[in-house]
Amino acid sequence: MNLNRLPKLWAGALCLAISLSLISCGGSKLTQENFEKIQTGMTLAQVQAILGEPTESSSVDVAVFSGTVSKWKQGDVTITIQFVNGKVVAKQFSKAKE
């Protein structure tokens, strides 16, 4: 093995380790703690500030009411939030059993 390349290998390994640790620090926004921050009456924008963009969303308008169900999914966690006229009225946190 060429000993002149050893410092370069260590530097590369160190950069990789630092990159991976920074990625893992970002973590998921889909936590029980963030779910509990969601309160009745919050707007979609306020919820998105906590959870990010929803994974899926569906809406229906009936007369003067509009309803939206938005879901945030990552791994085995799903957060479902129901909005009526743009405000949170119900929420659910579910985690698949292992």
| Assigned domain for 37 exists | yes
Number of domains into which the chain is organized? 1
pLDDT of residue 71: 98
- Residue 52: pLDDT over 50: yes
| CATH assignment of the domain containing 87 | 3.30.1450.10
Give me the domain span that covers residue 88: 28-95
* Banded model confidence at residue 16, pLDDT cuts 50, 70, 90: very low
| Assigned domain for 19 exists | no
Nearest to 83, CA basis, from 71, 61, 93, 68: 68
| Assigned domain for 65 exists | yes
User: Contact at 8 Å (CB) between 79 and 51?
Assistant: yes
pTM of the model: 0.70
| Assigned domain for 22 exists | no
| Assigned domain for 68 exists | yes
| Assigned domain for 7 exists | no
| Assigned domain for 46 exists | yes
| Assigned domain for 91 exists | yes
